[in-house]
Amino acid sequence: MADPEVIRILHVEDDPHDRELVGATLRQDGLSASIVAVATRDEFEAVLGGETFDVILADDRLPAFDGLTAQRIAAERAPTVPFMFVSGTLGEETAVERIKNGAVDYILKQRLARLPGSIRRAIAEARTRSDHARAEIEVRRLNAALEERVLERTAQLAEANRALAEREHALRASESRLNAILDNSPALICMKDADGRYLFVNQQFERVLGVSRTDVVGRTDHQLFPPRLADMYRANDVEALARRSAISVEEPAVHGNDVHVYASAKFPLLGSDGEPYAICAISTDITGRKLAEDEIKAARLEAERANRAKSDFLSRMSHDLRTPLNAVLGFAQLLATDRMSDEQLECVRQILKGGEHLLDLINEVLDIARIEAGHLSLSPEPVEVHEIVSHAASLVAPLARQRQIMVTVSESPLARISVVADRQRLVQILLNLLSNAVKYNRDVGTVSIGFERSSDSMLRINVTDTGTGISPQKLRLLFRPFERLGAETTAIEGTGLGLTLSRGLAEAMGGSIGVVSRPGSGSTFWVELRTVNELPVDRTHLADQGAIEYRLGRPATVLYIEDNLSNVRLMERVLGRRPSVTLATAPDGRRGVMQALARRPDVVLLDLHLPDIPGEEVLKQLKAEPLLCDTPVVVLSADATPGQVRRLLASGAAAYLTKPFAIPDVLAMIDRMLHLRSQAAPVIEESDRRE
Amino acid sequence: MSDKLLSNARWRHDLKNQLGIVLGFSELLLQDAPPNGSAHLDLQEILKAAQQAMKLVESLEELDEPVA
């Protein structure tokens, strides 16, 4: 038997022969061994501390050491290494005692042949022991690890249980919260599966529709509601399901005998696969709102009707009053051209002034009414401030001169700025402010017009007087209609509407108006308007509108279609200034068209208010006649709206004149029409002109 | 406000006042005008028109009453 490994042996022996004998015995037996021999305690301890051995052999009695001590030391230092006595002298009793103390064997030197077998056995036993020990340690270690894992797992389970309980609690809380919300919602909330069977309804649903949850769940709309309603509900559900997103619809519902309208939000509930598994609806009763909307709509229609009636009334009033005033002014103008005494002329001037004042009163009220109704028509354009202010100043100059009041316009570069305004309306505002500044000034006072920028985009025109000023209490009343602050008892003329109207006009143009006053030293009225940068004012077309007098002696006919005899008389007198022109007249539309066909006039003057057909209709009929379609038609009216004027011009009217007209304007218009016609004539009579 | 303006007593008063001035001066001139001259006819037209306007203003007052 050959041991593959080298057995490491510590041999406690002082006799070299004995050492050799042991070595030889082992070699002879085929045991390969490395033997370290020691003889003293010091050597023994030193070797034991430095190396490991498979077996320790010890002589029992040495001169400097003894086996018993060696056994004790080895038991301490290397307890697992088998310890064996090899001695020649040990008695049986001692041997038993040594083995009791832990030695594995006791071999007499005389019977050394037993040694190799004993060593092998001892080593094998030691190995087994050591394996056992290792196994035991391993088992212990495994047990400990297992225990640890069990503890760990137990803790984990406990944690998991706790989390689960917590989650369950949270879930229950969330569910009860959700239920509380659903059941206390004033909206009807329900949930149905994809096939339309109810899964849930809230308390409001039960209460309002008079059903109980248990009756509803599991049923469909068709089992619960009238067929047409059920069809509609289902159609809406299907649409939301198909879209996979929320829809908003209005749905009627029956409560007892009433029909209510609901605004419903319907949305599908999507599963983790993205497929809808249910449809949810939240419905709010909007019946009240619908009714209110209907009422508002009705009220708005009524208001519009009333407004229309009001503006019709205003329009009628304006016409009814302006027609006679037109006559007064027309005839007074004619009278003024007669030869008469200064005293008589003064009377005529009083009549003219009265007539103009009356027109102001009517026009201003109408303008204010139009502004309020939002019907005021403006033509905003860039207007150079200096130009328009100078124009307005020149218009009040005569009035100012009478009282030796000086009117000055600042030469500030700001005056070269243009503002956005309706030219005519801005002149109206400025005239109002300037004439007030003159009227309420002291004699030999001044009116100064200045400019300032009130913001980046606004320019302010200041009109400052040297009058007595206005107390703060009275300032508030200034812009009220008919508020003349006591001036009605003085000789100062005015309608009491000027500032009210000016404010309305300024605001309609996107501007504003105001006043600053220092009692005792004067007031500054200002108007503020939006500025523009460019100046695209092309006024060349206005230049050729100057009177082109029709001087040809060629006879011409003017047909005047007008029902008011005063107006007809006036026109007769006006055209008396053009002896070559014959005036034909017709008192209504039907006869107007007949006369036009019979007499083929050169110009038709057409009043808009005729007793039989509206003037607009007459215009269309004239334009529809092949013989008359080239005849210029001038429309005369006291109250055409800008929209109406545009329509008339589009329908073929050659021009439009506002009543009351100034006599020179009428003559200029007729001259121009006849002149244009005489220029057009050669086209027809071309052969006569050929040379 | 336009309703109030139209039915405003002061406005009507002002209108009547001015019409009165027109009527007064026209009558004054009419007294001096030769009966068959053109001025006579013109003045009659003025008087007629002013009277018509006066009637209208007065009719506005009647229109006003049931409302007030």
Q: What percent of chain A is modeled with pLDDT above 70?
A: 91
How far does chain A reach from its first CA to its final CA, in angstroms?
162
**In the block, which residue shows the tokens 């039907």?**
A590
What pLDDT shows up at residue A153? 92
Averaged pLDDT for residues A262-284: 92
How far does chain B reach from its first CA to its final CA, in angstroms?
15
Query: Which amino acid, A290?
Result: K
Cβ distance of B2 and A373 shorter than 8 Å? yes
Chain A partners within 8 Å of B14 (Cβ) = 361, 495-496
Q: Which two tokens stand for residue A493?
A: 């003329």
Q: Which residues contact A273 (CB under 8 A, 6 or more apart)?
A: none
What pLDDT shows up at residue A690? 37
What pLDDT shows up at residue A4? 59
Same domain? A517 vs A599: no
Mean of the per-residue pLDDT values for chain A? Answer: 84
Chain B partners within 8 Å of A334 (Cβ) = 38, 42
A215 interface with B at CB cutoff 8 Å:
no
Tell whether A205 is covered by a domain. yes
What pLDDT shows up at residue A219? 94
In chain B, the residue whose alpha carbon lies closest to the alpha carbon of A306 is B3
Instruction: Specify whether the CB–CB gap between A281 and A200 falls below 8 A.
Output: no
Cβ distance of A347 and B8 shorter than 8 Å? no
Same domain? A220 vs A280: yes
Same domain? A47 vs A125: yes
Same domain? A517 vs A638: no
Chain A partners within 8 Å of B60 (Cβ) = 317
Q: Which residues lie across from A465 on neighbouring strands?
A: A447
Distance, CA of A339 to CA of A345 (rounded, Å): 9
What pLDDT shows up at residue A552? 44
Total tally of structural domains belonging to chain A: 5
Tell whether A461 is covered by a domain. yes
Residue A491 Cα, gap to closest chain B Cα (Å): 14
- Check pLDDT > 50 for residue A311: yes
Same domain? A331 vs A408: no
Chain A partners within 8 Å of B6 (Cβ) = 313-314, 317, 365, 369
Distance, CA of A265 to CA of A276 (rounded, Å): 16
Provide the number of CB pairs (under 8 Å) joining chain A to chain B.
115
A358 interface with B at CB cutoff 8 Å:
yes
Averaged pLDDT for residues A383-389: 90
Judged on CB neighbours under 10 Å (0-12, 13-18, 19+), A65 is buried
From the list B1, B18, B28, the residue facing A347 with the nearest CB is: B28
CATH number for position A23: 3.40.50.2300
pTM of the predicted model as reported, rounded to 2 decimal places: 0.43
Chain B partners within 8 Å of A362 (Cβ) = 15
Instruction: Specify whether the CB–CB gap between A283 and A187 falls below 8 A.
Output: yes
pLDDT tens for each residue of A60-80: 878 888 888 888 888 888 888
What pLDDT shows up at residue A5? 79
- Check pLDDT > 60 for residue B67: no
- Which of A318, A342, A370 is a domain's end point? A370
CB atoms within 10 A of CB A580: 13
A344 interface with B at CB cutoff 8 Å:
yes
CA torsion sign for A368, A371, A372, A375 is positive
Q: What percent of chain A is modeled with pLDDT above 90?
A: 27
Same domain? A49 vs A88: yes
Averaged pLDDT for residues A24-31: 87
Domain that holds residue A233: 185-285
Same domain? A44 vs A126: yes
- Check pLDDT > 50 for residue A681: no
Task: List alpha helices for A338-452, DSSP H.
Answer: 342-373, 385-402, 423-439
Residue A388 Cα, gap to closest chain B Cα (Å): 30
- Check pLDDT > 90 for residue A236: yes
Q: Tell which wins on pLDDT, B49 or A647.
A: B49
- Check pLDDT > 70 for residue B5: no
Distance, CA of A358 to CA of A362 (rounded, Å): 6
B-contacting residues in A 368-397 (Cβ below 8 Å)? 368-369, 372-373
Same domain? A443 vs A350: no
What is the pLDDT confidence band of residue A465, given thresholds at 50, 70 and 90? very high
A638 interface with B at CB cutoff 8 Å:
no
Cβ distance of B1 and A368 shorter than 8 Å? yes
* Range in A302-306, A460-464, A507-511, A682-686 with the lowest mean pLDDT: A682-686
Residue A325 Cα, gap to closest chain B Cα (Å): 7
Q: Tell which wins on pLDDT, A130 or A331.
A: A331
What is the pLDDT confidence band of residue B9, given thresholds at 50, 70 and 90? confident
From the list B19, B25, B45, the residue facing A347 with the nearest CB is: B25
Same domain? A515 vs A632: no
Averaged pLDDT for residues A462-470: 91
What is the pLDDT confidence band of residue A295, given thresholds at 50, 70 and 90? confident
Tell whether A122 is covered by a domain. yes
Sheet holding A556-561, edge to edge: A581-586, A556-561, A603-607, A633-637, A655-658
A-contacting residues in B 15-34 (Cβ below 8 Å)? 15, 18-19, 21-22, 25-26, 28-29, 32
Distance, CA of A37 to CA of A18 (rounded, Å): 11
Chain B partners within 8 Å of A324 (Cβ) = 48-50, 52-53, 56
Cβ distance of A328 and B49 shorter than 8 Å? yes
Averaged pLDDT for residues A388-399: 91
Residue B61 Cα, gap to closest chain A Cα (Å): 13
- Greatest mean pLDDT among A244-258, A360-374, A655-669 lies in A244-258
What pLDDT shows up at residue A191? 94
- Check pLDDT > 70 for residue A161: yes
In chain A, the residue whose alpha carbon lies closest to the alpha carbon of B57 is A321
Distance, CA of A394 to CA of A484 (rounded, Å): 25
Tell whether A600 is covered by a domain. yes
- Check pLDDT > 90 for residue A376: no
For an interface test with B, the pick among A371, A482, A501, A577 (most B C-beta atoms closer than 10 Å) comes out as A482
Cβ distance of B29 and A335 shorter than 8 Å? yes
In Å, how far are A93, A138, A160, A161, A341 from A165, measured between CA atoms? 74, 40, 8, 6, 118
Cβ distance of A327 and B46 shorter than 8 Å? yes
Cβ distance of B43 and A566 shorter than 8 Å? no
Chain B partners within 8 Å of A353 (Cβ) = 21
What pLDDT shows up at residue A489? 61
- Check pLDDT > 60 for residue A263: yes
Tell whether A145 is covered by a domain. no
Same domain? A552 vs A529: no
- Which of A370, A405, A430 is a domain's end point? A370
Q: Which residues contact A651 (CB under 8 A, 6 or more apart)?
A: A616, A619, A620, A623
Residue A444 Cα, gap to closest chain B Cα (Å): 30
A-contacting residues in B 30-59 (Cβ below 8 Å)? 32, 38-39, 41-43, 45-46, 48-50, 52-53, 56-57
Cβ distance of A570 and B2 shorter than 8 Å? no
Tell whether A455 is covered by a domain. yes
Sheet holding A258-270, edge to edge: A198-201, A188-193, A276-285, A258-270, A247-255
From the list A331, A358, A369, the residue facing B42 with the nearest CB is: A331
Cβ distance of B6 and A369 shorter than 8 Å? yes
Tell whether A164 is covered by a domain. no
- Which of A490, A505, A534 is a domain's end point? A534
Averaged pLDDT for residues A597-622: 89
Same domain? A268 vs A320: no
Averaged pLDDT for residues A79-101: 83
A361 interface with B at CB cutoff 8 Å:
yes
In chain B, the residue whose alpha carbon lies closest to the alpha carbon of A321 is B53
- Check pLDDT > 90 for residue A316: no
What pLDDT shows up at residue B64? 55
Same domain? A558 vs A459: no
Tell whether A146 is covered by a domain. no
CATH number for position A530: 3.30.565.10
Chain B partners within 8 Å of A317 (Cβ) = 6, 56, 60
CATH number for position A357: 1.10.287.130
DSSP summary character for residue A37: E
DSSP summary character for residue A61: B
Q: Which residue, B31, B21, B29, B27, is CA-closest to B53?
A: B21
Cβ distance of B48 and A566 shorter than 8 Å? yes
- Check pLDDT > 90 for residue A267: yes
